[in-house]
Amino acid sequence: MKKDELPQDKGDLENFTREVCYVKNKDGKYEKGLSTGWEAKQAALDNAWEEIERVVAQTKESVLNGKVSPIKYYMELQVMDMPVLAGYTGFWSWQIKRHLKPKVFAKLSPSKLEKYAKAFDITVNQLTEFK
Amino acid sequence: MTAEEFNHIQTAHCENGVTVNLLKMKGLDFFTEPLAFGIGAGLFYIHVPFLKINKGPAISFRSMPGQIFKRTCKSLDIDVVHKRFKSTENAQSFLDDKINAGQPVGCQVGVFHLMYFPKSYRFHFNAHNLIIYGKEDGKYLISDPIMEVTTTLTEAELEKVRFAKGPFAPKGHIYYPEKVGEISDELLRKAIVKGIKSNVRMMIQIPSVRAGARGIKFTAGQITKWRSKHGEKKAGLFLGQIVRMQEEIGTGGGGFRFLYAAFLEQAADKLQDDRLIKISEQLTKSGDLWRDSALQMAGIYKGRITSQKDFEDSANILKEISALEKEAFQDLKALKLKY
């Protein structure tokens, strides 16, 4: 990539930082250049977040309809997958999968609920009194 | 150490940046990011088996986290210290001791809770690297190599990112070069050649269809199946995922390829071997094609072009890249470099 081709598009890095890219200068040698962002990348990022928001909204419905426990909702809100949530709570994945069932969730002990609340950065109340 | 004493250098990639900053502190003034990336054999491609991210492909454009620092220091005969911790208290007191003694340290962190990152970049990625070089008014002074300027984190904020959980959990991982001997020209040339040879092995000699130059072709093959298998929308999201992984902050548009091309340019100078320039050009071409592929894929996930042919066009660019990188590394191998 030549230096004058380095994209300077608007994006989420605005007001945070510009990023270093290696570009060819007029003499055909590499040097560091700074870019504010690239539209192609920003679109991929926007797309990923739209999808996350769509799934979160869908899961909220499922929780309210009693199909799945609130753990699933907060998991998706915090962009966690099984290994990440397992890491933060100390539970095994198969345990978490059980806790996603509303019936099992209703009987969870306070100490287990506490672990989930801590992992999601919320109160136990927010978890049990889902709205 | 104060911000004035610490000379923050911004780089494209975090681990290169930590390596360069820490080695410069130890007197290696000539050291550059491309040298770290090349000696550390950072270039790679892998379509990771078994692992799915958001039910889509898991792809990496560089070697395993931690390898660049480790390989670079090993090749330059530099002794390094690595520490991981079970207790957060021990992790903090070890850190405080080091920075009180004037020793800036590299630190592995998770980005999900990294407060100075834009929200949309904060996923549960646990192999980000930064340098901690001091403490003022209870706040840690942070040099994050991908940021233009230095920043700070409170004790609580730092603890949270050092003890992020999940895959690649950092466990408070701290590292720094301890003893740096004299780096002679001969040692540097030897390290460069060694780095190139390691990278040749990684790119064309791993017996797997998913790794190295062959892995790029493998992904191309997958892409042609996605549309009929998952539908336009999901297949588009998968392409976006490829672009996002290619596009970590600072490695924009096949940035690792340009970085390697820059390394070969510097290697040509240090080894006095112009044949490397030609191969540097090939890597530049590859980086440009990675950019073209991202633009083509963006057309799809933005919903502008969505036919099967558009997916095949994306795949064809990757096939071209695969052939090009295979050739470049075969050429590198054939040079039989000596130092």
Q: Where do the domains of chain A lie?
A: 3-37, 59-128
Show residues of chain A in contact with B124, CB under 8 Å.
79-81, 84
Residues 253-282 of B with CB under 8 A from A: 253, 255, 258-259, 261-262, 265
- What is the structure's pLDDT at B56? 81
- What is the structure's pLDDT at B248? 65
Residues 81-100 of A with CB under 8 A from B: 81, 83-88
- Mean pLDDT in residue range A65-72: 97
Question: Which of B117, B247, B263, B281 should one mutate to test binding to chain A, selecting the residue with the greatest count of A CBs within 10 A?
Answer: B247
At B226, phi and psi to the nearest 5?
A: -60, -40
Q: What was the ipTM of the complex prediction? A: 0.93
B119-137 burial code (b ≥16 CB/10 A, e <16): eebebbbbbbbbbbbbbee
* Pairwise CA distance, residues B287 & B253, whole Å: 7
Whether pLDDT at A101 is above 80:
yes
Nearest-CA residue of chain B relative to A75? Answer: B124
A16 at interface of B, judged by CB pairs closer than 8 A = yes
With CB atoms and an 8 Å threshold, state whether A19 touches B146: yes
Q: What is the pLDDT of residues B243-269, one digit of tens each?
A: 988 766 655 558 999 999 999 999 999
Nearest-CA residue of chain A relative to B260? Answer: A22
Show residues of chain B in contact with A19, CB under 8 Å.
12, 146, 249-250, 252
* Beta-bridge partner residues of B111: none
Whether pLDDT at B104 is above 80:
yes
Q: What is the pLDDT of residues B276-320, one digit of tens each?
A: 999 999 999 999 999 999 999 999 999 999 999 999 999 999 999
Question: Which of A17, A45, A54, A92 should one mutate to test binding to chain B, selecting the residue with the greatest count of B CBs within 10 A?
Answer: A17
- What is the structure's pLDDT at B163? 98
- Token readout for A53 is 């928001």
At B110, phi and psi to the nearest 5?
A: -90, 145
A66 at interface of B, judged by CB pairs closer than 8 A = no
Is there a contact between B229 and B305 (Cβ–Cβ < 8 Å)?
Answer: no
With CB atoms and an 8 Å threshold, state whether A44 touches B259: no
The partner residue sitting opposite A40, judged by closest CB among B54, B243, B262, is B243
Is there a contact between B108 and B132 (Cβ–Cβ < 8 Å)?
Answer: no
Is there a contact between B111 and B65 (Cβ–Cβ < 8 Å)?
Answer: no
Q: Specify the pairing of strand B43-53 against strand B56-62.
A: antiparallel
- What is the structure's pLDDT at B49? 82
- What is the structure's pLDDT at B64? 87
- What is the structure's pLDDT at B92? 98
Q: Where do the domains of chain B lie?
A: 1-18+82-174, 185-334
- What is the structure's pLDDT at B253? 52
CATH class of B1-18+82-174: alpha beta
Q: Domain A59-128, what fold?
A: 434 Repressor (Amino-terminal Domain) (1.10.260)
- Mean pLDDT in residue range B121-139: 94
Three-class SS state of B253: coil
* Pairwise CA distance, residues B38 & B41, whole Å: 5
Identity (one letter) of the amino acid at B162?
R
At B247, phi and psi to the nearest 5?
A: -115, 45
Three-class SS state of B339: coil
Q: What is the DSSP string of B167-211?
A: TT--TT-EEEEEE-----HHHHHHHHHHHHHHHHHHHH-SS-TTB
CA distance B136 to chain A (A): 22
* Pairwise CA distance, residues B156 & B92, whole Å: 10
Confidence band of A87 (pLDDT split at 50, 70, 90) = very high
Nearest-CA residue of chain B relative to A36? Answer: B250
Phi-psi group of B31: left, alpha or beta (phi > 0 → left; psi -120 to 50 → alpha; rest → beta): beta
Whether pLDDT at B86 is above 90:
yes
Mean pLDDT of chain B, nearest integer: 94
Q: What is the pLDDT of residues B27-84, one digit of tens each?
A: 999 999 999 999 999 999 999 888 887 778 889 888 888 999 999 999 999 999 999 9
The partner residue sitting opposite B169, judged by closest CB among A17, A34, A87, is A87
- Token readout for B23 is 């080695």
Confidence band of B4 (pLDDT split at 50, 70, 90) = confident
With CB atoms and an 8 Å threshold, state whether A84 touches B166: yes
- What is the structure's pLDDT at B250? 52
The partner residue sitting opposite A41, judged by closest CB among B239, B247, B265, is B247
Residues 192-251 of B with CB under 8 A from A: 236-237, 239-241, 243-244, 247, 249-250
With CB atoms and an 8 Å threshold, state whether B240 touches A44: yes
- What is the structure's pLDDT at B251? 56
Instruction: Quote the percentage of chain B above a pLDDT of 90.
Output: 87
Whether pLDDT at B16 is above 90:
yes
